Amino acid sequence: MNVSLMNEKVTFQKNTVVTDAIGNHKNGWEDFYTCHATIGGEGMASSKEKEEAGTIVEDMGMTVTVRYCKKASEIGSTTHRIVFRDEIYDITNVDHMNFKKRSLKFSCRKVRR
């Protein structure tokens, strides 16, 4: 792994239940882990165009590779998301890179707002 390529800062957010002042429960996102990562595949073969409601939209995808640590190993595709350059990405797949505990690779898809 080339550490000098890990030059982009990403933030992983965790889905949690938040209780407001009067006791209502709703889903919210809170920062879970921030680190430097290697970003790959953005705007390349993983990106596609599709038609939604008569409009052509781009389905952007990318990969995020981070160094292995205990906190990063807890990240799951259904409970977490990634914030990169003020854009939100859903995690579609977590690759543990042959379980060698050196790096983790996350496949992501950009969220349409």
Considering only CA atoms, which of 4, 100, 93, 80 is closest in space to residue 41?
A: 93
pTM to 2 decimal places: 0.81
Domains of the chain: 3-110 (2.40.10.270)
> Model confidence over 37-83: pLDDT tens digits?
999 876 554 556 666 666 666 677 889 999 999 999 999 999 999 99
Contact by Cβ (8 Å): 33, 71:
yes
What was the pLDDT predicted at 112? 77
Contact by Cβ (8 Å): 81, 103:
no
Share of the chain above pLDDT 70, in %: 83
Tell me the residue type at 72.
Answer: A
Considering only CA atoms, which of 66, 65, 58, 74 is closest in space to residue 111?
A: 58
How much is the average pLDDT of 80-95? Answer: 93
Contact by Cβ (8 Å): 64, 82:
yes
Considering only CA atoms, which of 76, 50, 46, 48 is closest in space to residue 62?
A: 46
